[in-house]
């Protein structure tokens, strides 16, 4: 099992590091899972650290993919706004172009695997928890996107789908997990199981021990489908109390301007999806049971010091010092 550190590829982050390879070793990591930060990928990161690549994604994309102009106007206010947000006119080719460009970056980077979110949620849905689209709609559309992107080309990496707690792939219903995997034609397909996202599906969880037990129950439910789990995004989230208090309605201060509303909603999402380090040894049995190829420390941190401290905390929970 390779242990990786999640790191955005931006100059502001990379300038915090001198010897990045030594920084990884000091955290017990073998390499990186990177996220493109909108800048040219750096050539200074040692090739030995190039392992995972998290593909770009839009949380709210299905209506754009379908060309549903009425829904887009309702959410964005005008065609000018959604064209600016997505980088082109509504429809498939705009999204496919953006995803293909990112796949090409992953190839250039030399990624051993890529990660793709399978979910759809608007700013408003993030507050109301009243969904526009079903799990099946999102899964079927995502499988269509993936198949169009990958085609029959022999890609040099594994293609891993990541679970969320929004409509789409949640890893709570085995029949939906099977529907997604069966819908993807690529041979090198698998799952990047995000532990914190899975915990967000049950707002009754109060302790990390309850969270670990919940993950075990979902693994039990999935049975043989667990063989598709190739990696783990490791972090925890116990935000049920916040979710119960702040969802089910639109906040009265929700901005009218879409970009301001998006930022407002993003701060709300960060309160739900906290990306905190595990402090309970209960997570050790979960990791040992899954036996993933990749374990990624995907933790919230404002800078290098906080990032490394969070990884050390989680390593101790895993029994690694």
**Predicted pLDDT at 39:** 85
Q: Which residues of the chain have pLDDT under 70?
A: none
**Predicted pLDDT at 44:** 87
Please tell me the distance from the alpha carbon of residue 237 to that of residue 251, in angstroms, as a whole number.
Answer: 23
Please tell me the distance from the alpha carbon of residue 185 to that of residue 3, in angstroms, as a whole number.
Answer: 28
C-alpha 37, offset from chain centre: 15
Q: Are 16 and 303 in contact (CB under 8 A)?
A: yes
**How would you classify the pairing of strands 113-117 and 229-234?**
unpaired
Stretch (H or E) spanning 193: strand 189-194
In this predicted model, what pLDDT tens digit does every residue of 130-155 receive, in sequence order? 999 999 999 999 999 999 999 989 99
In this structure, which CATH number among 3.20.20.150, 1.10.10.10, 3.40.50.1980, 3.10.180.10 belongs to the domain 2-318?
3.20.20.150
**Predicted pLDDT at 18:** 86
**Predicted pLDDT at 305:** 96
**Predicted pLDDT at 316:** 97
CA-CA distances (angstroms) from residue 262 to 38, 95, 253? 18, 19, 13
Beta strand extents in 195-277 (DSSP E only): 229-234
**Predicted pLDDT at 245:** 97
**Predicted pLDDT at 65:** 96
**Predicted pLDDT at 265:** 97
Domain spans of the chain, in order of start: 2-318
pTM (predicted TM-score): 0.97
Torsion, Cα of 153, 156, 158, 162 (10° steps): -80
Q: Are 234 and 283 in contact (CB under 8 A)?
A: yes
3-state DSSP call for residue 311?
helix
């Amino acid at each position: 099992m390779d242990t990786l550190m999640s790191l955005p590829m931006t100059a502001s982050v990379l300038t915090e590091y001198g010897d990045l390879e030594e920084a990884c070793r000091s955290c017990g990591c073998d390499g990186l899972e990177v996220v493109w930060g909108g800048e040219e990928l750096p050539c200074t990161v040692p090739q030995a650290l190039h392992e995972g690549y998290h593909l770009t994604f839009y949380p709210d994309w299905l209506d754009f993919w379908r060309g549903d102009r009425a829904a887009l106007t309702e959410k964005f206010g005008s065609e000018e706004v959604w064209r600016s947000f997505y980088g082109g006119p509504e429809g498939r080719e705009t999204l496919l172009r953006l995803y293909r460009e990112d796949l090409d970056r992953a190839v250039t980077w030399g990624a051993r695997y890529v990660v793709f979110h399978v979910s759809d949620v608007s700013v408003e849905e993030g507050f109301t928890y009243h969904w526009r689209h079903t799990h099946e709609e999102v899964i079927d559309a995502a499988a269509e996107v993936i198949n169009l992107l990958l085609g029959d080309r022999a890609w040099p990496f594994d293609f891993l789908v990541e679970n969320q707690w929004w409509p789409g792939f949640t890893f709570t219903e085995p029949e939906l997990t099977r529907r997604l995997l069966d819908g993807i034609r690529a041979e090198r397909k698998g799952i990047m199981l995000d532990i914190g996202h899975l915990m967000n599906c049950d707002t009754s969880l109060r302790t990390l021990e309850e969270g670990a037990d919940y993950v075990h129950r979902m693994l039990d439910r999935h049975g043989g489908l667990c063989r598709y789990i190739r990696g783990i995004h490791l972090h925890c989230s116990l935000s049920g109390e916040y979710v119960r208090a702040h969802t089910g309605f639109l906040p009265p201060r929700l901005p009218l301007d879409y970009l301001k509303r998006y930022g407002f909603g993003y701060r709300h999402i960060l309160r739900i999806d906290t990306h905190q380090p595990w402090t309970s040894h209960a997570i050790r049995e979960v990791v040992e049971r899954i036996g993933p190829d990749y374990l990624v420390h995907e933790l919230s941190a404002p800078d290098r010091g906080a990032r490394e401290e969070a990884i050390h905390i989680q390593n101790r929970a895993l029994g690694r010092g």
